[in-house]
Amino acid sequence: MTHESTAVGLASAYSNATTASGDWWRDAVIYQVYVRSFADSDGDGIGDLRGVRSRLPHLARLGVDAVWLTPFYVSPQADGGYDVADYRAVDPLFGDLADADELVRAAHELGLRVIVDVVPNHTSEQHPWFRAALAGEQGARERYLFRRGRGADGSLPPNDWESIFGGPAWTRVADGEWYLHLFAPEQPDLDWTHPEVTAEFDSVLRFWLDLGVDGFRIDVAHGMVKADGLPDIGRGAQATLIGAEPLPFFDQDGVHEIHRSWRRLLDSYEGARIGVAEAWAPSSERLALYVRPDELHQAFNFRFLNCPWDPAAMRTVIDESLSATTAVGAPTTWVLSNHDVVRHVTRYGGGPRGLARARAAAMLMLSLPGSAYLYQGEELGLPEVSDLPPASRQDPAFRRGRRQQIPVLAGAPAPGPGPAAPGIIAPRPGEPPTQPGAGIGNGPEADAGPAPEQPLAPQAHAPTQPQAGASTGPAPEAQGQTGAGPAPEPQLPPQANDPTRPETGSGTGPQAGGPGAGTRPQAATGCGPAPEAQGQTGPEAEAGIGPQAERGAGAGPDLLTAPEAEGQDGLRDGCRVPIPWAGAEPPYGFGPAGSWLPQPPEWAGLSVAAQTGDPHSTLELYRAALELRRAMPGLGAPGAGPSPDPSGMRWLPSPDGVLLFTRPGFACTLNTRPEPVELPAPGRPVLSSAPVETDGRTVRLPPDSCTWWAF
């Protein structure tokens, strides 16, 4: 017989024990809402809080446990809101404080918890503290990292650190001092050794907890503390090193005392309020330090997001992730997409094959012990929009240019190439890369890099205006069936600058990470993507950047043009295109008018309305998977039922290319091969990403598919 790909009506809400308890977060499914692109209530083409509130029933029906909202605070929007000017107020672009309060109340009435972003690594340059620092107010600069420059006249940056977005991580102000910004110049880094910084963020957290939020996603949670003396790194392409090896500006031991103090604050409130770290660390063991019993509750696991479509690599990442978090008594998190990385339908090859793999990967993720993060639109099978016109792009890294003038001291080592990011597949010689965005931005706007930094004077930044219109290039592949025959294997570009980078940070830092995991490689603070935890520089990093640093034309003897030090390529807009709700034409119910980024004309068939009720649609697959996850006691929570493994999970022998594991009363099979595979049926099929043929004794698994079994 052939088992249909989805099933409905199988579970009642909140059937897992941990969901109803104070440990709800241990197996929660959390849905990331990128506020600008979710739903627009007032017709300005930009999503807002009232729009989010109007679409909460979709999330309740989908079956998620919580909603994570990207920043909606007052901001010049230099980095999509990850440059915060007022942490206690809602930007008029998104509504007002009353809208935030009503959204939280409405979510709670539907059984949904609400997590909001907090951006502690940096502020906006328009924050009152930084404006006071530039105006010369006594002591104001001590809240930030201002330093004198190097060289006889102080005209060289204080050290060789590079911005995640490209160019030096330092900008000089009118009186000759330099300030540190690991992301955009509009995002000056705070000095967390200053007591006023600590006190201010304690107050900010209490403000939103008092309003009723259930927790915080901490942007660039690994970045608030820098190594004493701000030492040189001695090499370029630093964004590629994030999450791959120790760096003096990320994952310093001092961040853990900050997180311990925040855990004490969270625990002082009723209702199990949680902290989620967007953190990049060189190993699973270092990442697990962020979720020790007295620190944060969760940390995004970008290794899973960055993992290639390879069963051995997947098993290694799963085993190492579970081992590291189990050792400290914390749950593991899983994520496949976020607002800082190329959508996983496209990362897995695009078209019918990319969709088949994306559906299978989602089912694998939702069957693993711990908590899962979903990115808005992935439940619709949305691909990356790779043909956005340059005039529409708003990612700050896109405008930073490809070639930055990097001042270096005479005799200092030239920036060198970083290690290749793990898990990256390079194209065969002579083949063009198929990654969305590869080669995009090589026109005049990208090649003409910005001139050397000039002293900065305070200036206001007007919010970016929305741009309506439809995409004119080739549209993303429409949703296809997962059982299609094999197609030519897609080749991904080199990932020294990988589109799978997670939750770019400040805005998402080095998120896959995320959970992405948007994270900036997940350059993580709410300010812009941070490099991936796996050492990738982010989806924006351009493929094909050479290893040699080149002398810039017309540059002085102490200026080095270092293409590999440019950071992200600024292509994050492709995953941020507003999602389709209903209708045959853009904006597909997103709002009364257009959308700030153009939506492809082919998205009509991918809308919520078009997929609802279709048992083969990706939307109904997600709904059924989340329903089963709650209904089956062996899914979700770690440690459910007897098992030799603390996670309640055990691997079983399986054919090459196939993963097979069990949890109490449950089994999961993943076929990563491009052809069907036969094996003994591990039980009764209850859900599959593609139609499965079984006679009860043996099963024929479709290519690139995942199946859940009950026994």
Q: Can you tell me whether residue 443 is helix, strand or coil? A: coil
Locate the DSSP E strands across 18-80.
29-33, 66-69, 73-74
Assess contact for 480 and 355: CB atoms under 8 A.
yes
Q: Sign of the C-alpha dihedral, residues 167, 170, 171, 176?
A: negative
- Catalytic residue, chosen from 27, 40, 117, 219, is 219
Catalytic residue from among 65, 125, 186, 278: 278
Burial grade of 411 (CB within 10 A; 0-12, 13-18, 19 or more) = exposed
**Long-range contact pairs involving 639-648 (C-beta distance under 8 Å, separation at least 24):** 639/369, 640/664, 641/665, 645/322, 646/326, 647/322, 647/326, 647/332, 647/369, 647/370, 648/369
Distance in angstroms (rounded) separating the CA atoms of residues 605 and 593? 20
Name the CA dihedral angle for 244, 384, 676, 432, rounded to a multiple of 10 degrees: -70
Environment class of 672 (CB within 10 Å of its CB; exposed 0-12, middle 13-18, buried 19+): buried
CA-to-CA dists, residue 578 to 37, 155, 603, angstroms: 4, 43, 11
Task: Give ∠ CA 348-352-358 in degrees, rounded to 5.
Answer: 40
Smallest CA-to-CA distance from 112 within 39, 17, 19, 216 is with 19
Pairing mode, strands 113-118 and 215-218: parallel
Strands 705-710 and 684-688: antiparallel
Name the nearest CA neighbour of 518 among 359, 367, 386, 333.
333
- Residue type at 26 in one-letter notation: R
* 553 φ, ψ (degrees, to nearest 5): -65, 130
Nearest Cα residue to 565 out of 392, 708, 408, 442: 408
The CA distance from 614 to 105, in Å, is 32
In terms of DSSP H, where are the helices of 172-290?
A: 195-211, 255-267, 284-288
The reply to whether 566 belongs to the active site is no
The token pair at 429 is 């010689």
Strands 73-74 vs 86-90: parallel, antiparallel or unpaired: antiparallel
Distance of CA 235 to the CA centre of its chain: 26
Alpha helices for 179-240 (secondary structure H): 195-211
Q: Is 219 a known active-site residue?
A: yes
Element (H, E) at 678: strand 677-680
Q: How many residues does the chain have?
A: 711
Q: Which residues are catalytic?
A: 219, 278
